[in-house]
Structure 1
Amino acid sequence: GYELPSSPLNLSLVIALAACVFVGWFLWRSAAGYAVRAVGSAPRAAHYAGIRPRAQIMVAMGLSGALAGMVGINEISGVQGKLTLDFVAGAGFTGIAVSLMGRNHPVGIVLASLLFGVLYQGGVEVSFELQGFSREMVVTAQGLIVLFSGAMATVSAPLFTRVYAAVKGGR
């Protein structure tokens, strides 16, 4: 038979993409997702609308905990094959950075995670080839990407608001 080359890619990629589709559907197509978004945007207004903020916070925390658990399952069952002491070191920072860069939207998060994955894996490959290259350079590049994407959003938001208002006013 034909043997596939060794790769960190496994079934968890399909599960992660399905989770992104589910989260997108949940947040934008279900009443419970609307309640979670309402509490996240304005807890007091959501409370006055009859939504219980504490319950929605628990739903959001449970969903995020389930997704974080899937990361751990991927690392232990897929990538490492065993439990190691620091099996998810840095995953929290990377997850927050990916979420910020993806603007908390499932499609944006998929694209940002692909960029960060390419940066990470490329950094590992380049560090084997070049003696002076370290993984910290990749982390620095990731930090700069998050910094500049956040700054660009802050700088460009007023411009987009004016353009949107002009387009809506012109109709």
Structure 2
Amino acid sequence: QQEQAAPAQQEQVTEQVSAREETSASRTNERAATPEPAAPAEPAVQSQPEPAAAPAPTGGVLGIAAGLVGTPYQWGGNTPAGFDCSGFTSYVFAAVGISLPRTAAAQQSFATPVSDPQPGDLVFYGYPAYHIGIYAGNGMMYDSPRPGKILDLRPVFDGVSGYGRVG
């Protein structure tokens, strides 16, 4: 009799396991269908061009800058192993054949001031400049900000003292 009961018990266990799997799958599907909460909106940048998606770099200064995104900040750095702000800008412009002075203040003196920045222009903070980046268009810039951060494309932030064109 036990031999006949064993297949019946096995069939009952199999049905129970199948029922649990269906229930689990149902719960999993319901969770996956739940929409994720919306990301909080970033504060608007005041007195700067409206941030928006920068044009896709196709080469030149912006293409080189885009290729360096993710490089860590390094004080005094001027290679893809690590950059400070002016080391980054001097490296990028050297790659297109334009020799810039090494410091942000010297680059500010070297550049021709412009009031209508175009992609590839320099963005200066302070006078003399203490920080510099490369304008990417639509209120965005590439820069190597400070220790613990990486070189990235981000909105131009408050405090711009001017823009400059070289080349």
TM-score, length-normalised on structure 2?
Answer: 0.19
Higher helix share: 1
Q: Which has the larger radius of gyration?
A: 2
TM-score, length-normalised on structure 1?
Answer: 0.19
Higher RCO structure, 1 or 2 (CA under 8 Å, sep 6+): 2
